[in-house]
Structure 1
């Protein structure tokens, strides 16, 4: 086996482990936040060891700066500011900015298509 190249079954197991760790972090946050932060740390270690991405649904649930688990309303804020989602971590005051241009374009296209359908119906 070459250095850095893992078989598909190892990558699948790593992604499953990361998913389990993040779900445990979500369950455990209200009781013991330090343990949930530790679960995020373990999931990140698995991600770097097996050279895989953290699953998409969990990628925005931890701070990219201090690597703590984020729960909206408890230790983070989510705001929509000028076509961006701002997620602010209250642990380190870091703000993650995520654009949502694709969603706006899709909404605009749907609106345009509805106008075209109405014009065809009126003719």
Structure 2
């Protein structure tokens, strides 16, 4: 196969496979955590091979350092600290920091919009 960008149909199939693997990892984690970790490894391999990103829904469900499947309350801890979501992996001790400024901005804008609507009602 030639090098470079893969056809769109291949990329779509790869995304479906990754989604299936993460769904299975979620189901299997309680009884077989090592199997769930293996599913994450396979999904990452597919992602690398087809040069695509892991779907955003599943992007925060595995550790970026040790590549283990994360389940809050079992092998990771989630905290909100200083406008960040801190996900602490209990397997390797890595802390993933994800800003949530966008959500705060949207909330602030919604508040401002509701204020302007109320102001216009009085006029």
TM-score range, shorter chain: over 0.9
Q: Which runs of 4+ in 1 moved over 2 A?
A: none
Partner of 1:102: 102
CA–CA distance in 2 between the matches of 1:105 and 1:5?
36
Could you list the runs of 5+ residues in structure 1 that have no partner in the other structure? Answer: none
Partner of 1:29: 29
State the number of aligned residues.
123
Aligned-residue CA RMSD in angstroms? 0.9
Does 1:3 find its partner at 2:6? no
TM-score between both structures, scaled by the size of structure 1: 0.96
Q: CA deviation at 1:114?
A: 1.0
Partner of 1:61: 61
CA–CA distance in 1 between the matches of 2:52 and 2:121?
50
SS of the residue 1:67 aligns to: coil
Could you list the runs of 5+ residues in structure 2 that have no partner in the other structure? Answer: none
TM-score between both structures, scaled by the size of structure 2: 0.96
Cα deviation 1:43-65 (Å, max 9, x = unaligned): 00000011010001000000000
